[in-house]
Structure formats: structure tokens, C-alpha cells
Amino acid sequence: MARFERMRVRSPLLMAMFSVLFVGALVLGWLGIPIVSSEGMFIRSHLVAGEIPAAPEDPAWDTIPPVTLPLSGQVITRPVWPEPSARALVVRSVHNGTDIAFLLEWQDNTKNDRLTPGTFRDGVAVGLPLGDAPAFFCMGQLDHYINIWHWKADWQSDIDRRAARAAERKSEGGEVRRFEVIPRRASSVEDLIGGGFSTLTSKQTQGRVQGKATWKDGLWRVVVRRPFASTDPENEARLEPGRLQT
């Protein structure tokens, strides 16, 4: 059990030291150098035979041990959000030597899969550095870019509704398609590059990273997957069996 004690500043020297550290942190932040302190955690991608599970409800996921990641608020940039709506993220991962997939699960009592004024869509993202060196976990940093896979609940809703309407037309004998309002999306996951806050850039080619999600009884279950082989090495996270990715 962690033990916390009240600390009192007993001398002007200690007060001066704290002031110097505070000013130093401000200077480093202004220069774009992040101050990060965190405990490392490892997520192992388990080798499976055959096709990897592409749907959250696939029973194959039940055989994969989960890793629970605690989540914290965001107080570095605006809008500040010190209290996260989700306290933990449960992660599982598998690969078959050709493709890799992650199952991400978190508690959320409200399903927000529409863009409405004053309400954020539900979403989750995986960020992997483009190079071998670790990058700042908040969207990367200058010269240490990361590849971000951003699953979006409203994009998933668009895809699911389109599929449902296509199945309905087929059951009705192939009715001619009328004017469509729902946009055609290559995936429910947006493939992005980040080099720090306010730098997110959507990649020109989308669809390499696929997603599938379900929400039931206050639980989101999201699968994101991508082939190991890279078609754009400069703008895609390098993935291969046995590689330690930070």
C-alpha cells in the first residue's frame, strides 16, 4: 500500500528549488520538450493459427489474457479534462504472422455514436511510433512522429447502417439504390500521423487499418487490425513478429 505523508517546506532554499524546477518545466514545455513520468507496461500480441478474430464477439478473444491499463485525465493542453470518463482500458492482442489485431474494452454507460452540438463522439486510439525511439505518448512530438489508429463510434455507425440497408435491399429483391446521405467510409478507423498537439494529419490512403465494434450493457468492445506488411514505411508503424514496439 502506498503511504503518503504531508511535506512542509522548512527553508527558503527548498522554496527556491521548487521555483527553479517549476520555471524549468515551463521553459521545456515552451520549447516543445514534454515532461513525462510513467510506469511502463507490456502488451503481448499472442500468436494464433489461421485467421485472426475480426469481431469483438469472436470467442477466440476469451482465450487471450487481458492487460488492464489505468487511464488518467489530460491537463497539458486545452481543452483540459482532468477527470477521465473511462478509468481503465482492457487490451488483448493477437497476430498470425501476417496480420495483427487489438481488442480494446472500456466501461461507458452512454453510447455516443452521433456528432451533436456539445457532445463528443465515443472513440479510442492506438498510437505507435514510426521509428525505434519512444515518442511522447500524447500524439508524438517534433521529429518523433507516431502513427495513430483512431476508431470513431460515428464512423462505425455509418458503416453498420449502410450494411443493414444493403442487406434490406437485397432481401427485397435488389431495389434500385436511391440518393445516399451516409458517407461511404473505407473503415471506421482513421489512419493518422501525429507530431504533437494540434498536428494530427489524416493519411491520404485510408482503409489499411480496419475496425469493428459493439456496445452492449455499458461496455464498448472495439477491434482494430492491420496487416504486418507496410505499404508506406515512412508513414506507417513498423510491425513484425517478435519486435518490441514502444
245 part of a folded domain = no
In a domain, 37, yes or no: no
* Domain range for 220: 43-227
- Please, what are the averages of pLDDT over each run of 10 residues along the chain (246 residues)? 35 38 40 45 92 97 96 78 87 97 97 87 93 70 85 95 80 61 84 87 94 98 96 88 77
Cβ-in-10-Å burial (0-12, 13-18, 19+) of 101 comes to buried
The 3-state DSSP class for residue 74 equals strand
Does 26 reside within a domain? no
The distance between the two most distant Cα atoms of the chain, rounded to a whole number of Å, is 84
Residue 24 is predicted with a pLDDT of: 41
Q: Give start and end residues of each alpha helix (H) in the chain.
A: 12-30, 153-171
Q: Judge whether 10 lies within some domain.
A: no
CATH number of the domain at 72, please: 2.60.40.1190
Confidence (pLDDT) at 39? 52
DSSP symbol at 60: G
- Euclidean distance between CA atoms 206 and 198, whole angstroms: 20
- The count of domains in the chain is 1
In this predicted structure, what is the pLDDT of residue 178?
Answer: 59
Give domain status of residue 3, yes or no: no
Which residues, 6 or more positions from 147, have their beta carbon under 8 angstroms from its beta carbon? 127, 128, 129, 130, 191, 192, 193, 235, 236, 237
pLDDT of residue 75: 75
Predicted local distance difference test score (pLDDT) of residue 84: 81
Instruction: Please give the pLDDT value at position 135.
Output: 67
pLDDT at 82: 80
pLDDT of residue 131: 77
pLDDT value for 115: 84
In a domain, 243, yes or no: no
Task: Report the pLDDT value the prediction gives residue 246, as an integer from 0 to 100.
Answer: 66
Domain presence at residue 4? no
pTM of the entire predicted model = 0.78
In b/e form, how buried is each residue of 228-245, taking b as 16+ CB within 10 angstroms? eebeeeebbbebeeeeee
Q: What is the pLDDT of residue 234?
A: 87
Q: With respect to residue 209, please indicate whether it lies within any of the assigned structural domains.
A: yes
Q: Quote the pLDDT of residue 17.
A: 37
Question: How much is the pLDDT for 162?
Answer: 86
